[in-house]
A and B are shown apart, each in its own frame.
Chain A
Amino acid sequence: KQEVTQIPAALSVPEGENLVLNCSFTDSAIYNLQWFRQDPGKGLTSLLLIQSSQREQTSGRLNASLDKSSGRSTLYIAASQPGDSATYLCAVSKGGATNKLIFGTGTLLAVQP
């Protein structure tokens, strides 16, 4: 059974700092991995999708990497801003008949002004 873990569970950093969020998964046979952001009381917003054949994806100040063989992904946020404060979730999909997403429990990020 696929298990997804995110460390740390919570992180507080001063504005301007670069930071890394970690996601690990137990079954390396994934189809893709997706990073989401969730603001309090809101839905999940897709940030980046990495296909299993890719090593990384970039969008603005965000860079996500994938090391499938070791079961790890990282989300790098450059020059953090208070507006980056949110919960960040990673989810893996095995594709196939159900195409289900298996979620980690998230990292709560607070960027202090």
Chain B
Amino acid sequence: NAGVTQTPKFRVLKTGQSMTLLCAQDMNHEYMYWYRQDPGMGLRLIHYSVGEGTTAKGEVPDGYNVSRLKKQNFLLGLESAAPSQTSVYFCASKGTEAFFGQGTRLTVV
């Protein structure tokens, strides 16, 4: 009963490096979301998907790209990491109820 699994859990990047965060869900949900959580800012929506092959921008999409080639996976990419992208990233999948992964703590130095 995995629910939503995020990898990696922690990562340190140098400015300008790229990386991909993976989110996998086993609940056959159509909707998937990427959020970032920063102190004092709450959870902010980066990108989301309403089904396989679809993606859309959320509140704070700049500097990120996403892909949803398979229904169970939602990938978040950082092409050229910046210190402002230091944050905790959460993935969620949603049917009627939303379920969250355990988060990825990313530090960009």
Show the binding face of A for B, using Cβ within 8 Å.
Answer: 32, 34, 36, 41-46, 49, 51, 89, 91, 93, 97-101, 103-106
Q: Give the complex CA separation of A36 and B43 in angstroms.
A: 12
Contact B50 A98 (CB under 8 A): yes
- Shortest CB-to-CB span from B40 to chain A, Å, is 8
Least CB distance from A10 to B in Å reads: 13
Which 9 pairs, one residue from A and one from B, show the smallest C-beta to C-beta distance? A44-B100, A43-B102, A105-B42, A103-B43, A43-B100, A99-B31, A49-B97, A43-B103, A43-B101
Question: Which chain A residues lie closer than 8 Å to B74 at the CB level?
Answer: none
* A101 lies within 8 A of B97 (CB): no
- B56: interface (CB < 8 Å): yes
Q: Given the complex, which residues of B lie within 8 Å of A34, measured CB to CB? A: 97-98
- A103 to B43 Cα, complex, angstroms: 7
Q: A100-B45, A100-B48 are in contact. Are A46 and B33 (CB under 8 A)?
A: no
